[in-house]
Structure 1
Amino acid sequence: MRVLIVDDQSLLRQSLAVILDQQPDLTVVGQAGDGAEAVPLARATRPDVVLMDVRMPGVDGLEATRRICADPVLAGTRVLVLSMFELDEYVYEALQAGASGFLLKDARPEDLVEAVRRTGRGESLFAPSILTRLIAHYVAAPRPDRPAGAVRRLTPREVEVLALIGNGLANDEIAAALVIAVKTVKTHITHLLAKLHARDRAQLVIAAFNAGLVHPR
């Protein structure tokens, strides 16, 4: 799995590269110090995952994420936002920009590695504290545009899978909860992406929130 690291702190970039390069299934293909450098470097290296800092001088991580996710050349690239902050506006803007997940910089190295792997596999990844606040925000906010029609087109099993995705469960956890094979879960997710016109799993999380399938815990 190919990874591009974007952060304005050189020491942190190097530390992240050491952690990731130690994994037999991960390879750091490039490093960038800001968003302006990140976009052309992503086009040149075609990473599976971009590990993106939020606050950087010049072009910040949110704008760089927006450009990368909108670039048809990088359709197979996922962005995992990494930040010191869990401010709500960062989370919402990152999701709107097309990010597939949001992780705090105080995460343990093993959690970072797993987050990169999950993002590369097309799963969404949120720190537990961020997911809880995200759910609370969406449930409390008015949703006049709730996609009820789209959800009505789903099968009962697809609705169950969508709800579990909204709660942050990984594929193997969904399979265990519903007593089905992981391959079957992946098939349901493929159908959900098509029926809900979602780009990736992160957008399915938002769809679950908007459809009222997820509630604060």
Structure 2
Amino acid sequence: MSIDCHIVIIDDHEIVATGCRGEFARFGLPWEVTWARALSDVAWPDGRTVAVLDLRLNDGTQPKEVIAELESRSVPVVIYTSGEDPKRIRDAMSAGVMAIVNKTSPIEDLIEAIKAALRGEPSGSMDWARALDMEDDFVKQLTPREIEVISLYASGVPADRVARSLNLSRNTVTHYIAQIKAKFLAAGLLKDGGRVELSKAAAKIGLTSYYE
């Protein structure tokens, strides 16, 4: 089978490329998959190429600079991400990527995004834009004090220390936390009131740096 195009997977984890290679073959796609841990490690192939890029690389590069370099090579970019960092997603969208696909989505979504990119057609970003707009609307429902409390508490700071840091009583902090949880639950951003789940929900909308 002749090679139709090259798919360069840029991701910290080689297993992502291995999985994509197997799935593309299962669907009978004549795509050659290569893997690189960073943009600087890519051995660029000849012929049509699409880059499938994770937004969080351990080499410290930022999405905008990586995407700009890929665009300078006329390589279309499909973002393949777990979606936990709204700022990086916004940066990628503003940089003009062809699509943003969640790693939890069916592999067919990634395949369709790559096919569209090969045609020079963007896809998928509007769903992400709507989701980010919903998260922005939720943050606007929080008061400045609630944002201060949740940013500390969901980052792992005990309630007593949150109280001392913000010059509040512990009871006041507990009351704020209860109010914040209620707002997360009402917005469908939280399924239970546990601290770990609250931390993950807060991190998803950019209010803490917590990741499990």
TM-score of the aligned structures, taking structure 2 as reference length:
0.53
- Aligned equivalent of 2:52: 51
CA RMSD of aligned residues (A): 2.8
Q: CA deviation at 1:67?
A: 0.8
Shift of the 92–20 alpha-carbon distance from structure 1 to 2, 3 Å rule, reads same
State how far apart, in whole Å, the 2-side matches of 1:91 and 1:35 are. Answer: 18
Which of the residues 123, 126, 141 maps onto 1:125?
123
Asked if 2 retains the 8 angstrom alpha-carbon contact of 1:78 and 1:100, the reply is yes
1:36 aligns with 2:37: no
Shift of the 16–29 alpha-carbon distance from structure 1 to 2, 3 Å rule, reads closer
Post-superposition Cα deviations, 1:138-165, rounded to whole Å, max 9, x if no partner, equal 9xxxxxxxxxxxxxxxxxxxxxxxxxxx
Which of the residues 102, 108, 111 maps onto 1:110?
108
State how far apart, in whole Å, the 2-side matches of 1:82 and 1:99 are. Answer: 11
How much identity, in percent, do the aligned residues show? 18
- Aligned equivalent of 2:92: 94
Post-superposition Cα deviations, 1:108-151, rounded to whole Å, max 9, x if no partner, equal 0122211211121111122664131356799xxxxxxxxxxxxx
State how far apart, in whole Å, the 2-side matches of 1:131 and 1:11 are. Answer: 28
Asked if 1 retains the 8 angstrom alpha-carbon contact of 2:101 and 2:109, the reply is no
Asked if 1 retains the 8 angstrom alpha-carbon contact of 2:11 and 2:36, the reply is yes
State how far apart, in whole Å, the 1-side matches of 2:133 and 2:119 are. Answer: 23
- Aligned equivalent of 2:9: 5
User: Tell me, what secondary structure is at the counterpart of 1:56?
Assistant: coil
Asked if 1 retains the 8 angstrom alpha-carbon contact of 2:93 and 2:125, the reply is no
Q: CA deviation at 1:100?
A: 1.2
1:68 aligns with 2:66: no
Q: CA deviation at 1:34?
A: 1.6
- Aligned equivalent of 1:27: 31
User: Tell me, what secondary structure is at the counterpart of 2:16?
Assistant: helix
Structure 1 residue runs of 5 or longer lacking an equivalent are 139-217
- AA partner of residue 35 (structure 2): Q
Shift of the 116–85 alpha-carbon distance from structure 1 to 2, 3 Å rule, reads same
Post-superposition Cα deviations, 1:168-195, rounded to whole Å, max 9, x if no partner, equal xxxxxxxxxxxxxxxxxxxxxxxxxxxx
State how far apart, in whole Å, the 2-side matches of 1:79 and 1:45 are. Answer: 17
Structure 2 residue runs of 5 or longer lacking an equivalent are 137-212
Report the structure number with the largest CA radius of gyration.
2
Asked if 2 retains the 8 angstrom alpha-carbon contact of 1:80 and 1:116, the reply is yes
Q: CA deviation at 1:95?
A: 2.6
TM-score of the aligned structures, taking structure 1 as reference length:
0.52
- AA partner of residue 54 (structure 1): L
Matches within 5 A, 1:200-211: none
Matches within 5 A, 1:58-207: 58-60=59-61, 62=63, 63-69=65-71, 71=72, 74-75=73-74, 77-126=75-124, 129-133=127-131
Count of aligned pairs between the two proteins: 132
Shift of the 45–86 alpha-carbon distance from structure 1 to 2, 3 Å rule, reads farther
State how far apart, in whole Å, the 2-side matches of 1:98 and 1:26 are. Answer: 26
